[in-house]
Structure 1
Amino acid sequence: MTADLTAPPVVGALAPYLRRYTSPAQLGLKINAYRGYEIEGLAEALAVPDLADSPVECVMVGDSYFMTHLGRPGTVMSGAAERDWALTTMAGLVDEVRDALDRHFTPDRVPFLLADLPDGATASPAAARQAAARFRAAGADAVKIEVAGDSELACVEAVAATGLPVLAHLGYTPQLTALTRHGDAVDDALGLFAEARRARDAGACGLVVEMVSEPVNQALSRPHPAGLPLYSVFSGRARWGGQSLNLWDAVVRPARPGRYFPPTPVLDAADVPAAYTPGLIADRMRELVRLTLAGWFPLSPRTALGAQQAARIADTDPWSVS
């Protein structure tokens, strides 16, 4: 297969928001951030000549906030009261980040705001619609839904039908599935391709893929008239798609060192209350964005795929049924 090095098409409901570039070396970036002072730091990070036109096109308020800032072990909630608390907390963060984006970015540079539906918000299509409406009222431009089966796809369809852009999160889905890499066998890769098509057909206008093998990531992000824009997390480099960066991870060291985390953090979590400032955030995010645009980050993850298997995945059209 001959690689198409043109930039991916801007499609569907995300078209008004995406800032795509003609060079495949300049990937669209999604930044996970949670608080207004983090947005202040992000804006400062980008206010230098070499990053003046950096392709930061999305800021996502993710439910990983419960792990980063609140120290919880995961994003799964326990019982209805916790799920209500999580939704209320996330809606408040979306409102705070919306205000900060509008204050710290000029109108021509403001990223679109993506809100992550937390655990419990996709218990039913009706619940997903209500949660999405709440986020939209708080200022979200789009929402993300973790997808692991038919019930979540029904939620994607229900929210998309309201006109609010929806991104489907595939691969490792922290609310729904166990921590493992996806797409490290041909059958598993083909299953991910089928899931991506189903998400598209349900009305998703973009994807987030987490912990998928790099060949799968690159196949899904390759330019295709029927494909979707893609942001990747711990999945190597999406050569034609978007990269997701976590602002917290750029500054704060993980509890256990990880090969695929950013090389930029300088703080331990215990030092965050005093030292996690907009100025330090700006310094570390500036470095991480530069490393990403230069191709030094992220690293390619290890894979169980052999050369022939990887070649078969690369030669597969993920957006058409073979």
Structure 2
Amino acid sequence: MRRTAELIARQTQARFSSPERIHIKANLFHGYEIRPLLTALRRQQQQQRLRLDAVMLGDSFLTTHLGYPSTVLDGEELQEFFLRVQLSLLVEIRRELDRTALSEEVYLIADMPHGSARHVDLGLQNAQRVLAHGADAIKIEVTTLDHLSLIEELSGGGVPVLAHLGYSPQAGGAKFVARTIDEARKLFRLAQQCRNAGAYALVLEGVATPALAALAAHNDGGLPVYAIFSGHAPYAGQSVNVWDALYRPPFPARYFPPTASLDVSTFPASYTDAAIVEHCRLLLELLGTSYPIFRGADMSGSEAAELMQSNPWC
């Protein structure tokens, strides 16, 4: 864990040295996706602006590969089954990542699936299982006070924890948050709680871009952030999904990658190294320019400007 903490510290220092640099967390499901992803990074035109911080095994494997309608799992038996699936995938990804030249520069995050952290003791137990199978850090969707307590326990023991705020696929609720000043301030308070509990960074999903910009800015006491479907802003990292770069979702999705041109019915035949390289290369070239698109807010221009200039961390 010490090596990971030192790596994260270096990445954070590099991020805040340049507002134009885009730090990336790349979500994937299998070890074989790593090499074409790295090839795409080398081939795109923004090599000096993009930096891969981490790869993450996401729980959306449930919907993309196992056919579930969401990442919500009913019942402890099913939750344990999927956690075991995640553990086997972690071993595969860890092995492949260690074979690359970037194994000392990129760390592996495990998404804690639904139910795996429903109370503190269980979360601690399952986090140790995840770490034992190759993860360097874990991500937790923060929706309860128990999750804050779990972050505090894990970070106190030296485990890096990435806190997921905004829209929570595991809990449902609003898919677009921080649209008003009051909603943004509520998000800011939760971000402060995560920082105080020991989280090293935030994932912000479905957050209005003015709130993203405020949280991402280089402010005293702030954490680095990775955005999902929240627009882009100076210092804001981006979470990209290899699968989403290729396959159209089965629903209208204005904020999904515009590079997704394949139908999921063509998987696995269409999921080749060449296809992954080309679609990811195109998506990476769009980052920070035309993608991700701005998410407006239900506030006036002056309110949005005031929000973005504030320090949400104090």
What TM-score comes out, normalization by structure 1 length? 0.90
Render the CA deviation track for 1:255-298: whole Å, top value 9, x for unaligned. 123221111122100001111112210111111111115x2211
Which residue of 1 is the match for residue 297 of structure 2? 303
Residue 13 of structure 1: CA displacement? Answer: 8.0
AA aligned opposite 1:93: L
Check the 8 A contact 2:44/2:285 in 1, yes or no: no
Quick one: which amino acid aligns to residue 277 of structure 2? Answer: A
| Equivalent of residue 137 in structure 2, options 127, 142, 149 | 142
CA displacement at 1:309 relative to structure 2: 2.4
2:88 is the alignment partner of 1:57: no
The equivalent residue for 1:261 is: 256
**Aligned partner of residue 190 in structure 1, secondary structure:** helix
Secondary structure of the 1:20 match is helix
Match for residue 80 of structure 2 among 73, 78, 84: 84
Q: Which residue is equivalent to 2:93?
A: 97
What secondary structure, in the 3-state scheme, does the structure 1 residue paired with 2:115 have?
A: coil
Map of 2:163 onto structure 1:
168
Residues 310 and 233 of structure 1: CA distance in aligned 2, closer, same or farther (over 3 Å): same
Rounded to whole Å, the distance in 2 between the matches of 1:290 and 1:13 is: 25
Aligned length: 308
Moved more, 296-305 or 28-37: 296-305
Does the CA-based 8 Å contact 1:12-1:205 persist in structure 2? Answer: no
* Among candidates 216, 220, 223, match of residue 221 of structure 1: 216
Distance 1:141 1:106 in 2: 14
Distance of aligned partners of 1:104 and 1:12 in 2 relative to their CA distance in 1, 3 Å threshold: closer
One-letter amino acid matched to 1:65 = F
Aligned to 1:288: 283
With over 3 angstroms needed to count, the CA separation of the structure-2 counterparts of 1:174 and 1:319, relative to structure 1, is same
In structure 1, C-alpha distance between the alignment counterparts of 2:7 and 2:43, rounded to whole Å: 31
Among 198, 220, 229, the residue aligned to 2:193: 198
Note the aligned Cα RMSD (angstroms).
1.9
CA distance in 2: counterparts of 1:298 and 1:282, whole angstroms = 19
Q: Using a 3 Å threshold, how does the CA distance of structure 1 residues 117 and 148 change in structure 2: closer, same or farther?
A: same
1:305 deviates by: 2.1
2: distance between equivalents of 1:105 and 1:282? 18
Deviation at 1:16, TM superposition (A): 5.0
Distance 1:219 1:49, change over 3 A: closer
1:72 corresponds to:
68
Q: Does 1:318 pair with 2:299?
A: no
> For 1:123, which of 118, 123, 133 is the aligned residue?
118
Question: CA 1:51–1:278 in 2, change beyond 3 Å: closer, same or farther?
Answer: farther
Report the residue type matching 2:74 in the other structure.
S
Which letter does structure 1 place at the counterpart of 2:297?
Answer: T
Aligned with 2:274 (options 279, 297, 308): 279
1: CA distance, partners of 2:292 / 2:180: 22
Instruction: Report if the CA contact (8 A) 1:115-1:142 is conserved.
Output: yes
Contact 1:20/1:55 (CA < 8 Å) preserved in 2?
A: no
Query: Match for residue 7 of structure 1?
Result: none
CA-CA distance at 1:27 after TM superposition: 0.9
The letter for the 1-side match of 2:65 is H
TM norm structure 2: 0.92
Amino acid in structure 2 at the alignment position of 1:205 = Y
Measure how far apart 1:15 and its partner are: 1.2
2:239 to 235, 244, 253: 244
Q: Work out the CA distance in 2 between the residues paired with 1:278 and 1:215.
A: 37
1:48: Cα distance to partner?
3.1
Aligned mates of 1:253, 1:259 — CA distance in 2: 11
Contact kept? 1:128, 1:159, Cα under 8 Å: no
Q: Retained in 2: the 8 A contact 1:125–1:159?
A: no
Query: 1:212 is paired with a residue of what secondary structure?
Result: coil
| Matched-pair identity in % | 38
Stretches of structure 1 that go unaligned for 5 or more consecutive residues are 1-10
Is residue 224–residue 237 contact of structure 2 (8 Å, CA) maintained in 1? yes
The answer to whether the Cα contact below 8 Å between 1:126 and 1:158 also exists between their aligned partners in 2 is: no
Q: In 2, are the aligned partners of 1:19 and 1:57 still within 8 Å (CA)? A: no
The residue matched to 2:269 in structure 1 has which SS? helix
1:19 to partner: Cα distance: 7.6
In 2, are the aligned partners of 1:215 and 1:310 still within 8 Å (CA)?
A: yes
